[in-house]
Structure 1
């Protein structure tokens, strides 16, 4: 990294151990990775490019966060639109987010 003049930002660098519960138990606890005297720690979930990856790799957190966001916006405009329009907006928001 020094040859290419790159620096590690330890505050924003994170890594994720993905696997079944049994596989993750082999690596449980806190064990940091040391790169150029900087410590990088594990995280239970990581947000990259708008997608939340979790340790089970099942996207449960990502899906629930997306639905919460969509329903928040629908609740904000619900009193101004018909129920059928709200359902159409819900489908449009969720399907465009997951495609």
Structure 2
């Protein structure tokens, strides 16, 4: 920090300990002393706009996204009769979709309950654009707008990162993915599959990019995995996920 002419603000420093609930219950309020200031343990901390909690459930972040999104939805609803559908969709993308999309790859592996809560936000936004009633089924509105459901959109982001990592378009810390190498010669050797590593803790390890990315990547059709460019891959992937979401 001194090399970059920065000074640490000890009063604003947050100390977050991440582990399982059982382990955290055994720890008695640890503290850190930084530059003469005692920093106490925080239940959550914000990093690049994402609120992390001590068990990586991301529950505080999800609550914040939902609260902020519905606040903007109510404001957009007030002026919806005065704007055209394309203008309303631009407002939704600017204030709602951008929040649902930001760093959503971190949400891989969270509970289905939290996914459904985020899906309610997207459903409400779709109803606002298409003037759908609350008792109407939401699937036709989502298909009309060509929106992927939240769970499929998270999968999309992970797979795009995987493609970039395999083609040296991603940061180096994401490129540690091993090709699948069977013990004997098989047809799957040249199928572009990735080796799936086992993890000790499903709640943490299975959500890691190095574990989750190969599992999702291997589930794709081979013609999508071998796309010639990122643009082609994104187009084919969205079509594939859209067909999967709305069969």
TM-score range, shorter chain: 0.7 to 0.9
Once residues 40 and 48 of structure 1 are traced to their aligned partners in structure 2, the CA distance between those partners, rounded to angstroms, is 17
Instruction: Report the number of matched residues.
Output: 94
**1:93, CA displacement in angstroms?**
4.2
| Equivalent in the alignment of 1:64 | 63
Aligned equivalent of 1:96, options 74, 84, 101: 101
Once residues 37 and 93 of structure 1 are traced to their aligned partners in structure 2, the CA distance between those partners, rounded to angstroms, is 40
Question: 1:18 touches 1:56 (CA, 8 Å); kept in 2?
Answer: yes
Question: 1:16 touches 1:55 (CA, 8 Å); kept in 2?
Answer: yes
- Residue-by-residue CA offset, 1:35-92 (whole Å, 9 max, x unaligned): 342211110000111000001111111011011111100101213226xx6xx63873
Q: What SS does structure 1 have at the residue aligned with 2:73?
A: helix
More strand by share: 1
Q: Which runs of 4+ in 1 moved over 4 A?
A: 3-7
Structure 2 matches for 1:37-52, cutoff 5 A? 37-52=36-51
More helix by share: 2
TM-score by length of 1: 0.73
Q: What SS does structure 2 have at the residue aligned with 1:33?
A: strand
Q: Which has the larger radius of gyration?
A: 2
Structure 1 residues 80 and 17: CA distance shift in structure 2, 3 A? same
Question: 2:10 touches 2:35 (CA, 8 Å); kept in 1?
Answer: no
- Alignment partner of 1:15 is 2:20: no
Runs of 5+ unmatched residues, structure 2: 106-247
Query: Relative contact order (C-alpha < 8 Å, sep 6+): which is higher?
Result: 1
TM-score by length of 2: 0.33
